[in-house]
């Protein structure tokens, strides 16, 4: 190999790396432009499906402006049957994004978990389609006011071994309930 | 709001070290955990180097992510983060070599290994996903590193003894080490009730 | 090297998980259902083949001083592509593997193969190496998954068979939940590696016995 100056040598290294990075970035931009709309659509479809489960047969009128002191409420969707409130309480392994259907009278119509990162086999049960998950979520239906898990002196049965997750879900539902109560007061 | 914030800060600190220990609960950084845990000294050195790089990387990746978000380039996250981490490791290595030779001697051999430590990239990605602000990110990084150090030093001290013990032929070496780690993970599960919230 | 040797190396004698102990993070973290194991194994195999081929093709172009940085960028690129595609078309898998998909970048196995094999061999051989190593990785993951899922949740094929519920083998309430928790990962992998060490020694003994008879 012939001798080259240090500057030239460093430049050659830097340019090669820059070239590779550039090509990779361009390839990613290309792939992203194909997948981005699909990913967005997936997320929206998931939220729509969740709204359908918490507010069956309701006509969704769109997003509603809301006030919330807890910081847990993300979005509120209005409908003729009530509200679908998107809340994201902090569970054991991160945010649990879920939708809570609340009637105009402040009663819970349904609970659906959109995404969560809880421990598999324990906290993750709250989101599962299994019998245990279903019965955990169903016990909220028809309730109103401020709820608490049994350990805190309330009426909600926690998922075995997942008190923190159960508590987080309950917190999220409380936030949804108080948010709807405020909405009804104003409206 | 101030009280809630410091509570969150403490919560992250404790959970990253104990109940959500990076190695024994979340499985980040298993490769160095198994690879560099034969002696307590080296384990401690590795742990300190990782803690340092993790805190730095959390801070740097927080800034970089702001830039990526502003440019709407979130999909470049993984590529950019790993480059940032690799350069941090390189810079730290050069800096230590020049200005703190004693520390370089102690940590030097571990530094190149850190680039491919999942714990570093893992903490950067988790910080972004969880939406932590600057301080929370850095605390999460440093605490994660401390958790790593705690686990690897404890593990190394157990392993020094296990190496000398008799065990079935097929379990010699890594299998028995993994089972030891499993028992440690079982012990760390006991911390999971200890959540400050 | 012959094709058969490649396969044998990938599966047993140089299996990335049980012998080289590479890519342990994902092996331990996500092996809780068959779906996760297969998905992770396939994702890693695809990325490994792609990165091996590209790195092998560029091996004379990349200066050796910056080769590691270049490999990491290439690998990270492929990982992001797979990540985006999974998010778009296989959302369930992408959610259940979570942060461990981007973390494939630092799976030492991929960088390890790039450095040990692809940077020194031709494109075709590198592709074959990627395929066999990836296959060995997938098999090891699936074995760990099946054990953990059976003992921990009492099912087989979770996420794929029977509408994603898996086929129940042990009645509800009996399985040891700890097996799907972190503890189970360490224990199951420990036993799987012990099993493969035992198997390899047995094969070696048999070979020696045969030679002795001759």
Range of the domain at A173: 53-186
Find how far residue C126's CA is from the centre of its chain. Answer: 17
A45-91: pLDDT as tens digits: 888 888 888 887 777 777 777 777 777 888 888 888 788 888 888 77
CA distance C29 to C45: 18
Total number of domains constituting chain A: 1
A2-24: average pLDDT: 83
Q: Is residue A4 part of a domain?
A: no
CA distance C172 to C153: 8
Q: Is residue A21 part of a domain?
A: no
Q: Read off φ and ψ for residue C15, nearest 5 degrees.
A: -55, 130
Q: Crossing angle for the helix pair A6-54 and C67-89, nearest 10 degrees?
A: 20
Closest residue in B to C79 (Cα) is: B78
Tell me the pLDDT of chain C averaged across its residues.
Answer: 84
ipTM of the complex, rounded to two decimals: 0.81
Residues 6+ apart with CB under 8 A from A81: A55, A57, A58, A101, A103, A109
CA distance A113 to A88: 10
Are the beta carbons of C29 and C144 closer than 8 angstroms? no
C137-155: pLDDT as tens digits: 999 999 999 998 888 877 7
Percent of chain B with pLDDT over 70: 93
Q: Give the sign of the dihedral formed by CA B194, CA B125, CA C180, CA B27.
A: negative
A111-168: pLDDT as tens digits: 888 877 776 666 777 777 667 777 888 888 888 778 788 777 778 887 776 777 888 8
Judge: C88–A122 Cβ closer than 8 Å, yes or no: no
Res B54: pLDDT:
92
Judged against a pLDDT cut of 90, whether residue B59 lies above it is answered with yes
Judged against a pLDDT cut of 60, whether residue A1 lies above it is answered with no
Q: Is residue A95 part of a domain?
A: yes
- pTM above the 0.90 mark? no
Secondary structure (DSSP) of C62-127: S-GGGHHHHHHHHHHHHHHHHHHHHHHH-HHHHHHHGGGTGGGGG-HHHHHHIIIIITTS-HHHHH
Q: In chain B, which residues have their Cβ closer than 8 Å to the Cβ of C194? A: 168, 170-171, 175
Q: Is residue A17 part of a domain?
A: no
Residue numbers of A between 71 and 110 with CB closer than 8 Å to B: 90, 92-95
Q: Is residue A36 part of a domain?
A: no
Alpha helices in C15-66, H assignment, sequence order:
24-29, 34-57
Q: Is residue A113 part of a domain?
A: yes
Q: Using CB atoms, which residue from B28, B117, B178 is nearest to C190?
A: B178
Closest residue in C to B125 (Cα) is: C99
- Burial class from Cβ neighbours inside 10 Å (0-12, 13-18, 19+) for residue C32 reads buried
Percent of chain B with pLDDT over 90: 16
Q: Crossing angle for the helix pair B134-162 and B118-130, nearest 10 degrees?
A: 150
Are the beta carbons of B142 and B37 closer than 8 angstroms? no
Q: Using CB atoms, which residue from C69, C79, C186 is nearest to B179?
A: C186
Question: Coil, helix or strand for B118?
Answer: helix
Judged against a pLDDT cut of 50, whether residue B196 lies above it is answered with no
Q: Is residue A153 part of a domain?
A: yes
Judge: B182–C183 Cβ closer than 8 Å, yes or no: yes
B95-126: pLDDT as tens digits: 888 888 877 877 767 777 788 788 888 889 88
Q: Is residue A170 part of a domain?
A: yes
């Amino acid at each position: 190999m012939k001798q080259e100056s240090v500057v030239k040598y460093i430049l050659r290294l830097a340019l090669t790396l820059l070239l590779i990075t550039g090509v990779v970035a361009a390839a990613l931009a290309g792939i992203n432009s194909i997948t981005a709309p699909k990913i967005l659509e997936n997320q929206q479809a998931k939220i729509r499906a969740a709204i359908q489960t918490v507010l069956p047969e309701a006509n969704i009128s769109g997003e509603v402006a809301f006030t919330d002191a807890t910081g847990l409420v993300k979005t509120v969707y209005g409908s003729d049957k009530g509200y679908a409130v998107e809340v994201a309480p902090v569970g054991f392994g991160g945010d649990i994004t879920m939708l809570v259907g609340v009637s105009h009278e402040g009663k819970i119509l349904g609970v659906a978990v959109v995404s969560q990162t809880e421990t598999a086999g324990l906290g993750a049960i709250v989101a599962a389609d299994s019998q245990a998950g279903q019965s955990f979520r169903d016990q909220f239906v028809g309730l109103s006011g401020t709820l608490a898990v049994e350990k805190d002196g309330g009426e909600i049965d926690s998922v075995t071994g997942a008190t923190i997750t159960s508590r987080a879900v309950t917190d999220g539902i409380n936030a949804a309930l108080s948010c709807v109560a405020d909405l009804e007061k104003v409206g | 709001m101030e009280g809630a914030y410091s509570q969150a800060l403490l919560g992250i600190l404790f959970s990253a070290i104990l109940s959500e220990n990076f190695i024994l609960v979340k499985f980040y950084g298993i490769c160095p955990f198994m690879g560099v845990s034969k002696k307590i000294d080296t384990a401690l050195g590795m742990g300190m180097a990782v803690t340092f790089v993790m805190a730095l990387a959390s801070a740097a990746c927080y800034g970089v992510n702001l830039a990526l978000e502003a440019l709407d380039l979130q999909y470049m996250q993984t590529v950019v983060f790993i480059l940032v981490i690799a350069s941090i490791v390189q810079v730290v290595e050069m800096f230590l070599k020049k200005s703190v030779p004693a520390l370089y001697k102690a940590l030097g051999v571990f530094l190149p290994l850190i680039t491919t430590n999942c714990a570093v990239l893992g903490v950067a990605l988790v910080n972004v996903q969880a939406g932590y602000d600057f301080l929370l990110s850095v605390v999460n990084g440093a605490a994660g590193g401390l958790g790593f150090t705690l686990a690897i030093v404890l593990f190394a001290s157990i392993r020094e003894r296990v190496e000398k013990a008799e065990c079935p032929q097929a379990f010699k070496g890594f299998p028995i080490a993994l089972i030891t780690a499993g028992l440690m993970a079982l012990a760390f599960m006991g911390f999971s009730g200890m959540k400050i919230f | 090297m012959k094709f058969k040797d490649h396969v044998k190396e990938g599966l047993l004698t140089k299996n990335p998980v049980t012998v080289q102990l590479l890519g342990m993070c994902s092996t331990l973290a996500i092996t809780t259902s068959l779906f996760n194991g297969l998905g992770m194994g396939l994702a890693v195999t695809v990325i490994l083949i792609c990165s091996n081929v590209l790195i092998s093709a560029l091996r004379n172009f990349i200066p050796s001083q910056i080769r590691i940085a270049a490999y990491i960028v290439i690998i990270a690129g492929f990982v992001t592509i797979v990540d985006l595609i999974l998010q778009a078309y296989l959302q369930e898998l992408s959610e259940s593997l979570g942060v461990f998909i981007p973390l494939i970048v630092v799976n030492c196995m991929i960088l390890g193969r790039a450095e040990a094999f692809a940077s020194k061999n031709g494109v075709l051989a590198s592709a074959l190496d990627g395929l066999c190593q990836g296959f060995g990785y997938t098999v090891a993951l699936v074995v760990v998954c099946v054990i953990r899922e059976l003992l921990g949740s009492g099912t087989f094929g979770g996420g794929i068979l029977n509408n994603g519920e898996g086929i129940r083998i042990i009645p509800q309430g009996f399985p040891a939940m700890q097996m799907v928790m972190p503890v189970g990962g360490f224990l199951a992998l420990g036993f799987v590696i012990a099993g493969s060490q035992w198997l390899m020694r047995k094969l070696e003994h048999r070979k020696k016995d045969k030679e002795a008879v001759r």
